[in-house]
Structure 1
Amino acid sequence: MTVLRDPADAPIDRREDGGPVSTGAPEAGGASSAIPPEIDGLPMPRRAIAASAVILAVVIMTLDTAMIAVALPAMARDLGLSAAASTWIVNSFLIVIVATLLPLAALGEAIGYRKVYLAGLGLFLAGSVACYLSSDFALLMMARLAQGLGAAGVMAVNGALVRFIYPGPDLRKGISVNAMMAAISSAAGPAAAGLLLTMGGWRLLFGLEIPLTLLSLLLGLRTLPGQSGSVDRIDGRAAVLTALSMGLIGYGLTELVQPAIHWSAASSLALGCGGIALLVRRLRNDPAPLLPLDLLRVTALRLSYAASICVFAAQMVAMIALPFFLHAVHGYSATTIGTILSAWPVGIALGALVSARLKYPLSTIGLGGLTVFAAGMALLAAFAGLGGVALLAAGAFVSGAGFGLFQTPNNSIMILASDVRRSGAAAGMQGAARVTGQMLGAALAALCLGLFGTGSVVPLWAALVLVMLAFAAANARLLAKRKG
């Protein structure tokens, strides 16, 4: 097992805690060699431009879901939709992403990450234009499906490209910046949507995406690194089965909170899980499986994915439930609610910046971040009923800071604890964990609101439980590392 020293001069296993990784086949216990110099980052200023292109794309893709969710009432009124029908403007986007992330990650490993990334950006741009011009629900849904597929292409290989953009000493910083921007965008989306809706209606949200996506595409065309494929072929049957299975699971999660169609949700989840079981059986001896069983066998990665799902679910529950609670219980205006929630992304930014500079093993930083996140959620759950903008904003800030402290090291582990030739699969799993967590969080928030009403703090306590589950996973990761 290759053991190197981290910035704090504490011996850590780089397979589990980030850093130089192998270019050979993944091993259960560690890495075998360092990344060769020909893929050790881009020269300046090309590196800065490529990094900017990737960061901009991360912001666009993450903002989309958060902003559109806030705009659903306005879109429903304008298009003559019921509230239930309007949710599919968001749900369809997320289902397409979760269904196609892993197949597109495998495609990136086969033909090169740059090609998949740029094609995804181009498709997302076309979908954004179509959304802006849509005059009815059917056209809008087709455009959202195109956007979802394009976003999946970007998210599937984003982390892999970051690995090739930054040199080894700066790689952790690059991952930190990406994690920070994704988290900030997700939390800031509702406030941004509220501002844009007051300025020009829901189409302005898609109008904003058009120039930003075009800029990211043009910058990427000039500067993104190009690598040849690291695998010879794609298992077409496995790709189709993966997309169908993950799509069914995503559909089941979105429908789970609808009492009238519980059987539909249950059957979709059962069929999706059955498809995953067939995939595991088909791919168990594949050295580079499309469903990355090789990565899931690594304890650090498996537990990192679980922790990521839990924290994104917790954040989504809080982001959905808090506005309803603050309006129902305290009668706060949208502006006041936006002021309170804006403290969350500020906390994320500060937490991520601090995390990137701490000289401790990544697992230790992650546990500290989860402790802070739990403290913030406990503060919100316990004292939300008392009201007070300052108190509530403080709870949101502490929660965001803990989220930011955790995400940076956890993302580093998810990307760096894998073989470099499996960068596409690692990036795909990172994105899949994030989207799965967001879908679970949205479903849980809707379930809690339906059962307990908008004036209940139960969703906030549920978010705290999710943070504690993430802590348990991260702690198990650290214990497994010490035993190894």
Structure 2
Amino acid sequence: MLASSLAFIDGSVTNVALPSIERDLHGDAASLQWIVNAYLLPLSALLLAGGAAGDHFGRRRMLILGTAVFAVASILCALAPDLRLLLAARAAQGVGAAMLMPNSLGILGSSFKGEARGRAVGTWASAGAIASAVGPPLGGWLVGAAGWRAIFIINVPVALAAIIIAWRYVEESAEGEQPLDVPGAVLATLALGTLTWALTLWSSAHAGSPEVWAGLVGGVVLLALFVWIERGRRSDAMMPLAMFASRPFVGLTLLTFLLYGALGGLLVLLPYLLIVGGGYSPLQAGLALLPFSLVIGAASRLMGRTTERIGPRWPLTIGPIVTGLGFLLLVRVDPSGSYWTTVMPGMIVVALGMAGAVAPLTTAVLSSVDQSHTGTASGFNSAIARTGGLIATALAGAVIAQTGTALVETFRYAAILAALFAIASGCVAFVTLGSLTPVGDDRPG
């Protein structure tokens, strides 16, 4: 939980520091998007490889190595003298997170079974939500008191504690000698990188160009080549295509992409809107996000137990729809008005909806594969979630590039779009997850 909390803290804390980094390193809308996406890109593309590497070499070993990489990269972020080196260090953080995150969850999947696994996953999700809750206000305070570089230094003691505990108390687990899919990892990285570059260029410039169209076409071609390579590798692929013969698995994949894409975009844009459009301090913007993570942290363990009894279909239908209603409430956001009446109601409803979805989604994914592929399955689902956030952040430049009333207006359009995605994800769950049984049910689903 300490190791995976690093990724959650870093994902939430950086958002409140973007305006300060922009001023200090003389960035623009596109560079702000890349501060987020330089981290999300390798995290999205390499999570599958990270989970498979844990299955192959040992999950504890990969957890410790990934945590160490993350810690070193965090120090480099804090020392970066310019934007170019900061982006390189952020990418290294993403590589470390791709190694540690799926193996954190894979260790749980291999250590617990049945109802105990549902409770363990709920506890893991709660710890991640608490870390996310601490991140924005702590990061906002650090930005105001010591500068944005301090937000990366806080990762180091957490990483050291995680490494020590894993080394002393976690048993090693691995699942055989399946070869690693290096071609698949390279193609996934190139495809996502090309698409992200093209979408970032389009959204920040508000116009198409030969470079944008070339990037989009090139990204699609690379994705097609990735699928072709994975098909040829069959069971040795980091994304075995046989998984997509399962209707619930396809549903969970689409649900994750839509829901986390909607959430990722709004969590980048809201603190930026409050700081730039409403004059909030970084600490105030961080505190504005606090209800979201606190509600998820308090409710995730309960939802894990509920999913054990009733299965994931209804929690994953109702939760995203409620999340969408919360996004619609955020259309009322006025950064210069009262936080309590324009921001907090929407945040509370979004949090309640996500609390109903986080633990059930994770449990459903782990329950859909055999134990030998828990690392790969968790890596795939996390990759889809981060890819949704990656694409949403690449498109966020259309909002970030605005100022004044135009900034507020385009944010409202983004909130409506996020609501549509979240509600659609709930509908997907209702249609596709009817055959999944509760965690403790041994009948085939």
Pick the TM interval, shorter chain: 0.7 to 0.9
Q: Can you list the C-alpha shifts for 1:284-317, whole angstroms capped at 9, x where unaligned?
A: 2512422232223322122112111222222223
8 Å contact from structure 1 (residues 164, 225) kept in 2? no
| Alpha-carbon distance between aligned partners in 2 of 1:81 and 1:329, rounded to the nearest angstrom | 18
In structure 2, stretches of 5+ residues that fail to align are 438-444
Q: Are 1:453 and 2:406 counterparts?
A: yes
**1:232 shift after superposition:** 3.2
TM-score (norm 1): 0.79
Alignment RMSD (CA, Å): 2.9
Counterpart residue number, 2:440? none
Q: Is the 8 A contact 1:303 1:474 kept in 2?
A: yes
Contact 2:254/2:428 (<8 A) preserved:
yes
- The answer to whether the 8 A contact 1:252-1:269 is kept is yes
Indicate whether 1:275 and 2:190 are aligned. Answer: no
2:419 is matched with: 464
Match of residue 434 from structure 1: 385
Q: CA deviation at 1:167?
A: 4.3
Q: Offset at 1:203?
A: 1.7
Aligned partners of 1:122, 1:432: CA distance in 2, in Å? Answer: 21
Deviations 1:29-77 (A, max 9, x none): xxxxxxxxxxxxxxxxxxxxxxxxxx11222112213222322332343
Task: Tell me the distance in 2 between the aligned counterparts of 1:424 and 1:383.
Answer: 40
Question: 2:310 is paired with a residue of what secondary structure?
Answer: coil
Kindly provide the amino acid, as one letter, of the partner of residue 387 in structure 2: T
The residue that corresponds to 2:322 in the other structure is 372
CA contact (8 A) 1:98 1:247 kept: no
The one-letter code of the counterpart of 1:276 is: L
Separation in 2 of the partners of 1:180 and 1:262?
44
Are the equivalent residues in 2 in contact too, given 1:308–1:434 (CA < 8 A)?
Answer: yes
Offset, 1:106: 2.5
1:163 Cα deviation from its structure 2 partner: 0.6
Structure 1 position 154, deviation (Å): 1.0
Q: C-alpha separation between the residues in 2 aligned to 1:473 and 1:203? A: 41
Question: Residue in 2 aligned with 1:301?
Answer: 249
Matched residues in 2 for 1:123 and 1:244: separation?
21
Q: Which moved more, 1:379-388 or 1:236-245?
A: 379-388
Name the residue aligned to 1:218: 164
Residues 345 and 397 of structure 1 are in contact (CA less than 8 Å); yes or no, is this contact kept in structure 2? no
Question: Counterpart of 2:187?
Answer: 241
Aligned residues: 429
The one-letter amino acid paired with 1:278 is L
Cα deviation, 1:444-472, whole Å, max 9, x if unaligned, reads 44335557822222222112111111112
Distance of 2:144 and 2:273 partners within structure 1: 22
Q: Is the contact between residue 127 and residue 146 of structure 1 (CA under 8 Å) also seen in structure 2?
A: yes
Q: Give the corresponding residue for 1:317.
A: 265
Conserved in 2, the CA contact under 8 Å of 1:321 and 1:454?
no
Partner of 1:341: 289
CA contact (8 A) 1:121 1:151 kept: yes
Q: Deviations over 1:227-277 (max 9, x none)?
A: 234243224333333332233334334434132675434333322322232
Moved more, 350-359 or 215-224: 350-359
Q: 1:368 to 1:88 in 2, by over 3 A?
A: closer
Q: Deviations over 1:73-103 (max 9, x none)?
A: 3234334445543543332222222232222
Are the aligned partners of 2:252 and 2:429 in contact in 1 as well (CA < 8 Å)?
yes
How far the C-alpha of 1:385 sits from its partner, in A, is 9.1
| Within-5 A mapping of 1:13-412 | 55-82=1-28, 84-186=30-132, 189-259=135-205, 262-284=209-231, 286-323=234-271, 337-358=285-306, 359-381=309-331, 387-391=337-341, 392-412=343-363
What TM-score, normalized by structure 2, do the two folds share? Answer: 0.86
**Which protein has the larger Cα radius of gyration, Structure 1 or Structure 2?**
1
Tell me how far apart the structure 2 counterparts of residues 75 and 169 of structure 1 sit (CA, whole Å).
45
1:405-431, CA deviations, whole angstroms, 9 ceiling, x for partnerless residues? 111101111122112111222021122
Tell me: CA distance 1:114–1:318, structure 2 relative to 1, closer, same or farther (3 Å): same
Pair 1:417-2:368 in alignment: yes
Structure 1 vs Structure 2: percent identity of aligned residues? Answer: 26
Shift of 1:369: 1.6
Q: C-alpha displacement at 1:216, in angstroms?
A: 0.7
Distance 1:256 1:231 in 2: 43
Residues 81-138 of structure 1 deviation map (CA, whole Å, 9 limit, x = unaligned): 4554354333222222223222233322322222222211111111122223333444
What is aligned with 1:475? Answer: 430
Q: Distance in 2 between matches of 1:262 and 1:186?
A: 38
Residue by residue, what CA displacement relative to the aligned partner does 1:128-170 show, whole Å, maximum 9, x if unpaired? 2222333344443332232221111112333212212334331
Structure 1 464/282 Cα, relative in aligned 2: closer, same or farther at 3 Å? same
Mapped to 1, the partners of 2:407 and 2:193 lie a distance apart of 30
The structure-2 alpha-carbon separation of the partners of 1:231 and 1:243, relative to structure 1 and needing over 3 Å to count, comes to farther
